[in-house]
Amino acid sequence: MDRAALTEGAVAVLRANDTGRFIKPSQRLYPFQWNWDSAFVAIGLAAVDPERGRVEVRSLLEGQWADGMVPHLVFHPQPVEYSPGADLWESRECDGAPGVPTSGITQPPVLATAVRALHEADPDRGFLEEVLPAIEAWHAWFHRERAVDGLVAVLHPWESADNAPRFDRALARLDIEGVEAPRRSDRSQVDASERPTDLEYRRYVALVDALRACGYRPGSPMDAPFAYVDLPLNSILAVAEDDLAFLLGEIGADGSRAGAAAARVRAALQETWDEAAGAYRERDLHGDAGITDTVADLFPLYAGVPDERRARRLVDEHLGAPDRFGAAPDAPWAITTVAKSSGAFAPRNYWRGPVWINVNWCFVRGLERCGLDAEADALRDLTLDLVARSGFVEYYEPTTGEPLGSREFSWSASLTLDLLRGLRP
């Protein structure tokens, strides 16, 4: 692998997708600002241009709502066609929404982790003083609005991994009679077999309709038609709370809420362990989620939750197992987002099987946190080989490494920059 060429290529992708104010996930398919995309982008920018990374954080926070929520999508004005877009959300009709149109839901809170990466690369106290109160308010919002027994719930699959099979049953329960599939700009750009179906989109829209009717703030997660205790989001939150507590300490501010929240979320994640399955269990508040056979079942590893014995089981029985999520002779590219042994595994379809660079990045960092350095190094090398071979695309077919989804995808480029930092020269 040519490290210099990979760096150059990744920087070129970020430059091409840069609007000056924010970096689009990709040129045409995703022309606005998505929340965790921008955080992943800032993590990569820490390696090459921290000042540009700080711009990314500031522009995302322009979308923050008065109650603290940082939305999953900020529609900074762009001369583009994108559907379903700002009209679906009508955020301006809602109390506490900002001037710029946004969605009414959120996304995994990677932002504090990104700000920590920027701080470690290039400390800027003024920047921390500016943005940490906003991130503190967002995290507090999660625990106030979305709390479920020490963890938090997502109210829409767009708050986590869209069409992941683990949401199928909860979505199938929704009443979508009379709800039409929206006009979809994704369809003109990516093959339908690689994207969610129209039926799934009708369900996504039905959920937005229900949430819009209450200003996106149901009294509690139980009152929302879809409420799911998502392990990726909670694991990301645990890490982010630790990072926030650390950063607040750096400026002499009070990090006690964040520190306590990190400990509480980690303790609650521990409780989701299923000894028989050797994995963690998700929770569907209106039904039974259990073990889902998706990579979500393993995600507490990202937050360093498992002890040595559990981490080993996660790796041996799932993450590294050839018939599950690991590399196999006939499917050398890992981590699959759905277990290959699952009936739902679909190697070309979006979050239903392909390899994603942000997922791999989370597991590299999680393996490191759990002290599994050799496994972390192997996964990092495999991930870098994949992008070197197939480019910085949205997702990858695990048997061939074929590039799928959007081309020139920002977080695949930015997280490559971060993974390259860990490589010994």
Question: Interface with ligand 2M8 by CB under 6 A: which residues?
Answer: 25, 30, 34, 36-37, 158, 162, 186
User: What is d(CA 89, CA 87) in angstroms, rounded to the nearest whole number?
Assistant: 5
Count the residues in the chain. 425
Q: Which is nearer to ligand 2M8, 102 or 272 (CB)?
A: 102
- What secondary structure does DSSP assign to 58-127, as a single string? HHHHTT--TTSPPPSEE----S---SS-HHHH-GGGSTT--SS-B-SS-----HHHHHHHHHHHS--HHH
Check residue 301 and report its DSSP letter.
Answer: G
- The answer to whether 258 touches 250, Cβ cutoff 8 Å, is no
Alpha carbon distance 207, 190 (integer Å): 24
Provide, rounded to whole angstroms, the least separation between the CB of residue 36 and ligand 2M8: 6
Q: What is the 3-state secondary structure (H, E, C) of 190-237?
A: CCHHHCCCHHHHHHHHHHHHHHHCCCCCCCCHHHCCCCEECHHHHHHH
Which C-beta is closer to ligand 2M8: that of 158 or that of 333? 158
Q: What's the start-to-end Cα distance of the chain, in Å?
A: 12
List, by residue number, the catalytic residues.
162, 394
**Between 110 and 311, whose beta carbon lies closer to ligand 2M8?**
110
Using CA atoms of 236, 238, 241, 243 in order, give the dihedral in degrees to the nearest 10. -70
Kindly state the smallest distance separating residue 30's Cβ from ligand 2M8, in Å. Answer: 4
**Distance of closest approach, residue 55 Cβ to ligand 2M8, in angstroms:** 19
Given the complex with ligand 2M8, which of 25 and 255 has the nearer CB atom? 25
Residue 195 beta carbon to ligand 2M8: minimum distance, rounded to whole angstroms: 8
Q: Which is nearer to ligand 2M8, 186 or 230 (CB)?
A: 186
Residue 113 CB, nearest approach to ligand 2M8 (Å): 16
